[in-house]
A and B are shown apart, each in its own frame.
Chain A
Amino acid sequence: MDLTALFQVTCNGILTGMIYGQMALALSIIYGVTRIINFAHGDMIVGAMLFLCMISNTYIDNLSLHFVLTLMLSVTVVWGMQKTVFNLLRTKRDGVQFITMAAVSIIFLNALLLIFGADTFTLSAPITLESLEFFAIQLNYGKVVGAMTALGTTIGLFLFFKKTYIGKAIKAVSINPEGAFLIGLNQQKIFSITSIIAGILIAVSALCLSFVIDISVQSAPDITLLCFIIVIMGGLGSVPGTLLAGLLIGMSESYVGYYISPLYKSLSGFVLLITLLLVRPQGLIRLKTT
């Protein structure tokens, strides 16, 4: 067995996994607080990525400025969604929620298709082209930066939920909405704050992902599905669980892609999900609901 290759594949898997884990966080916290499965999650990320790539290809060469613009856009969109669609749907039945979110996803996806067309876009940033040598393995510099940003955001969010008052309030609403209401938490305020955090998370994941992959509108459903798998595997609402599930899927994808065939790469996530649901339906890390 080639140890260098194994090490290389593992490192790549871990880096991808960190990005995956961060990508699913927004879905997880929106579900945790509003109990709505955001089918348009992938479309939002892809929309943010396309916007980022589009403005990065203009003559102003400043990635942080581009990122700030993307951030503003995604926060506005998620906040707007929260104020209109999510608020309307919170009290509705499951079926109505599913179909409405599916309709929203169809509208988003095809609006993106109308605006950007079916072409593939690439982020024009010099760091994606460099590579980093680390012992005997080669790592893409952009991927390392993306993974570290993702990891930093995940840890930041974890600490935010653990330490700050607002974080604890959000957690309280997601564990027991009625109880949180009774002790005097303003639900609408919490929802707004959550949606703003979700918007920030989506912008960050768009940035991290565009370091790693080229993007086209067609990949949006795949991203949504991948995020679903990660969130369900990690246990809904659990930040460390989501990171763990992301790492697991990233690594298994990278092993399957290297040792078996790249064609079966996306199969590994689904197989892991089915196995996990049948063995441990509550997810890797269970959120205490008592």
Chain B
Amino acid sequence: MNLNLHNVRIIDRASSFHQSLADIQISEGKIQKIKKSDGTGQGIDLKGMTMTPGWMDLSSSFCDPGMEHKETIASGLNAALRGGFSDVCVMPNTIPYIDSKSGIEYLLSRAAQHVVRLRPIGGLSVKGDGEHLAELLDLHHAGAVAFSDGTHPIHNSELLLKALQYTAAFDGLVINRPMDVHLSKYGQMHEGIQSTLLGMKGIPAVAESIMVERDLSLLGYAGGRIHFGSISTHEAIDKIRNAKKQGLRVTCDVPIHNLVFTDQDLGGFDPNFKLMPPLRTESDRQALIEGLKDGTIDAITSDHQPQDTENKNLEFDLSTAGAISLQTVFSQLVSLGSELPFDLAVEKLTSGPRRILGLDPVTIEEGNDAVLSIFDLDSIWKLDRDSNASLSHNTPLFGSDLRGQCMGVINGRHYHLDKKLIS
């Protein structure tokens, strides 16, 4: 495979070509040559396009095996591809649960031929029961990049303690979604003035921060590494910021939803805004953006969670939480405008998640592996039945005009470029 791309703007803070217009030669899966554009470039003209290192998502659910009518590995990876992701970490919440080597092997074999690389997150407990440790070493050797009970918070402190101690031996990573299951029970949305106005049971911010505190205490006691998935409150960010200052090995991420929506969006009882963690207040949203800027938050995730109409298009309290988002993360970031500098957002979707998993960064430099995403910041498109690659359409953005679109992903020897570029 040989690709000659020219006139593309590089956005990669770690690269010496950051912010430059460049011409790139790719073959054998590597960046063979890169130089500043001088108008003599050959091959595919990427005028007006932006190139970043390949995006990595830390938290997607693909429903395969077991709920293939909501999403399959193929449809999920296609959604990731159209969203500009070269790598996707998938959560173990499938049927059966991914708590064994064979589960990991199933995921990897199904994804083997795709441009997008699937990186499985192994189940932390047996069948996700939250009580008994899964075979973490075996999962690790089979290819699990981290361990988590995915969308289910780890409630049992003893289990978390053992997981931290056990994985420390091979510098493994435990991912927990901090949420007190009792304080959040029956909760439908963030607890605040908006939940009071809508007559819905709220999930208080303290349900998240209390578990962050517990986990940090356990981390200090046991050692190991913990990553908080889907942080949503300013209280939790403050605690993580302090823990980082004290030198604890802790990282965290924020779902894209919580950066662009707030609980004010729930006024119409649209179940597509029902998410877990819930959409919080505007001041929480501001704190999340601040956390990204000061380095407290290491990554942005899609938190892609497909749901079928039968589970989603219901009365708000009967609807299942979650939204699809792999395909819209880029547009959602563009919609933030100057609130979040684009190159910083790119960092939180490229080197940020890789650092969390202990992987090497994929900088755009000569000689490095060609792991690249190409975007058009100005392209207007609509997420509809034709353009949606996911098998589900549970997103408040379905049917809306969106600005900013992925035009291609290159992942070593595999690549996909939008037809518009090739013609």
> Are the chains A and B members of one assembly?
no
Residues of A bordering B, CB below 8 Å:
none
Residues of B bordering A, CB below 8 Å:
none
